[in-house]
Chain A
């Protein structure tokens, strides 16, 4: 108890210096926490992907399409339970700054395959009835203040023209990680328009989503689908939804690695700053440590005093930084909602924050602790006055 009191009083003896160090550690831990959260979010799509869903696309690239006729052949493969299909539409609402994901999908099968999109039954029925109808996520509707019956116009990029949709349903995610900033409309609407305007692009789908009867069968089914279409004009590549998502992530791997490196660099920088603070502190107090030793305290006591003080400062900053991560993440979630559907801090990130803070405290204290614990009393007492 006595030593705990001593640690805290020592830690806040130089209020300005300690405050600046604590603020520095807090900012570093906050930045570390946010960057780690960002890295985690990159993998959010992977985490929420279903083990019983496969994605089939053109083997050359996602840019190339597959014939709609593949649907019935895929359905005949053993282990396939259901199938849906769609196209990435890539339409722009108002201007490019208002980006959100939009797809043309076969609505009935798609909503069956993706139960995480929750729609009120009456709205769902209205959507299924109206070929020009669309559904949007609740967050997207809220962002643009859309209500049922509104006409939403998208400017086509992949499929040129002005496309009008009637908002028939607003879905909610089954859990927080479900994307609520997307728009989906009838694939038939797209296909019929293509038949009239660019017939060679009609009856083509960008991807098939396949439900399998058992997740253990997924690898077998994937191989079988690709084998079925081998040596055809449009060979397929089938992978689990997880692998499909990871494929997207691998395209941005360099960014991810850079973020991770920056998160560690932030910690290393603050370690050096904290080590400097502790070294200055220990140097100023050498005569006090010598006095402690003169009275009979051993080097373990002195080591504990220096080490403890460093930990008090680092952990104070660490806890403040970790606590600030929550409002900061909330701010990101609101302000950058078009990029991050959810920006929630995981408990693991908080553990990492506190571990990093402890690491800062430990590393910062090593040299001053050794120096203070091993200084000769006579040498230490000579520094008085």
Chain B
């Protein structure tokens, strides 16, 4: 008999609205669901459905109007800006659509960034960065600047940066959205490996059905409402 896994993320009655002039636009409407540890979740839905807003709330870079988001043991909606920054540094790894690498830093230095917020020594940081870059198969590109790397390689550096501090969850916003088909497949394979081999929990926003196929679970959002689950 399979032992039920603990939810790593618990979302309850989450609401989020935006104000445009005098108009109040509801983006997320009473969202409640859990994400289990080691799960690879894809959030899908049309543009403006609230996927990225939901991802931002889970990652602690935006605040809801009401409701709760618990990640591990931490109720993140009650944290201050400073506490949230500290929490993100150790619990969340980010993978963006446009990689968001710092152009003046080498691949090595980009990956090292999250570790600067830890108490690790220089030698320890170097070991961690080398391991992360090895894991994404970029050991030979450590000293390259982002402009010297292809889109797929840049995204792999971004993944190495996301995992290097061993965060609780990985959030990915359209990670293959800016890549060609081959590079996209490589990135998805890599993310799949992170889940299967390293037990990482990934929450991914995507438009791409091929990307969603890799996920254990697909949740659809439409006009701020979570309406079906595909496993």
Q: Using CB atoms and an 8 Å cutoff, list the residues of chain A in contact with chain B.
A: 2, 5-6, 9-10, 13, 287-288, 291-298, 376-378, 381, 384-385
Contact = CB atoms under 8 A, between A and B. Distances in A.
B62 A378 contact: yes
B88 A294 contact: yes
A315 B56 CA distance: 39
Given A377-B61, A378-B56, A378-B62, A296 B104 contact: no
Interface string B77-119: 0000010011111100010111010111100010011101100
Interface in B3-31: none
Contacts of A385: 97-98
A381 B95 CA distance: 12
Given A2-B109, A381-B96, A296 B114 contact: yes
A6 B105 contact: yes
Given A2-B109, A2-B116, A288-B102, A296 B90 contact: yes
Nearest to A288: B102
Given A295-B88, A385-B98, 9 more contacts: A9-B104, A288-B102, A291-B100, A294-B94, A297-B89, A297-B117, A377-B62, A378-B56, A381-B96
A384 B85 contact: no
A296 B118 CA distance: 10
10 contacts: A6-B104, A291-B94, A293-B85, A294-B88, A295-B94, A295-B161, A296-B117, A378-B61, A378-B62, A384-B98
A291 B102 contact: yes
Chain B: number of interface residues, binned into ranges: 20 to 34
Contacts of A384: 96-98, 100
Given A377-B61, A377-B62, A378-B62, A296 B102 contact: no
A377 B171 CA distance: 15
B89 A295 contact: yes
Contacts of A297: 85, 89, 117
Nearest to A385: B98
Contacts of B61: 293-294, 377-378, 381
Interface string B179-205: 000000000000000000000000000
A382 to B, nearest CB: 9
Contacts of B104: 6, 9-10, 13
A5 B56 CA distance: 31
Contacts of B112: 2
Contacts of A288: 100, 102
A51 B63 CA distance: 74
A6 B104 CA distance: 7
Contacts of B102: 6, 288, 291-292
A9 B112 CA distance: 16
B100 A298 contact: no
A292 B102 CA distance: 9
Contacts of B96: 291, 381, 384
Given A291-B100, A378-B56, A296 B82 contact: no
Contacts of B82: 298
A378 B94 CA distance: 13
Contacts of B109: 2, 5
Contacts of A5: 109
Nearest to A10: B104
A298 B116 contact: no
A297 B61 CA distance: 12
A312 B20 CA distance: 40
B144 to A, nearest CB: 15
A298 B117 CA distance: 10
